[in-house]
Amino acid sequence: MEINIILGILIIILAFGLEFIDTSLGGGYGTILTPLFLILGLDLFYIVPSILLSEIFTGLSGAFAHHLFENTSFTKNSEMNWKVCGLISILGSFAAFISVILAFSLNKLIIEIYIAFLVLFIGALMLRKKEYSFSWNKIVAIGLISSFNKAISGGGFGPLVTAGQVVSGRDTKSSIATALACEAPICITSLIFYILFHGFFDPLLPLLLIIGAVPASFIGALATKKIKKEKSMKTLAGIFIICLSLFLMIKIFLF
């Protein structure tokens, strides 16, 4: 399907709106864009690497914006953020390699159903009135599973990493920012593997996505700053992540 001027403008608007949601609440950009582009008639193996390329930029700009607006910190003294981000990035790069190989052989319907129910389950855990203790084992599991999702479908990373960190005992704002920071190295690794296995692709779609999404990442981080109470932030993010899973289910079973 050819991207004309009208469709190009629509893509920029979509990227802006979805990146605002992604940066402020911790997910939704790739998770929603992938099925929308499929409905518009774009090929999956063009959609996924395009989203991966754009999220290299949005991950970096979103993490920087959260640091800029003091939702969290990425200074050299922010040891916990760097440790979590580093661990998820390293494990995620390995998982991305495996998932890109499997992407060409697994049934896409099974993959999408798995992601939808996994995100629903973890979103529901976020709404429980329970304080979770921090666990590195949970962070390891989240890093592997979420990166597998990202490389194989273009989505399912942000909601899972954000919610998974909260369930692992981290505060919501730091979880959102760290999820964004982890996206860049994992997307770079996944994109390299996609190019090696499937070749280069037209840069128009990722360029349009970057134009729309990068400015929105700063506005989204500012919106996160305005929510003062941690419990309110956790509840809002949990509700949104459950809505994402329901969106995926509707897409799977109706389209």
Q: Look up the domain containing 49 and give its range.
A: 5-254
- pTM of the full structure: 0.81
Total number of domains in the chain: 1
pLDDT of residue 209: 97
Q: pLDDT tens digits for the chain (255 residues)?
A: 678 889 899 999 999 998 998 898 887 788 778 777 877 778 877 888 899 899 999 999 999 999 999 889 888 777 888 888 888 888 777 777 777 677 666 676 777 777 678 778 777 877 776 666 777 888 888 877 777 766 666 566 777 788 888 888 888 889 899 989 988 888 888 888 888 877 888 899 999 999 999 999 999 999 999 887 767 777 887 788 788 778 778 877 776
CA–CA separation, 105 and 239 (whole Å): 33
Q: Could you report the per-residue pLDDT of 17-59, keeping only the tens digit for each? A: 989 988 988 877 887 787 778 777 788 778 888 998 999 999 9
Phi then psi for residue 228, to 5 deg, are: -80, -40
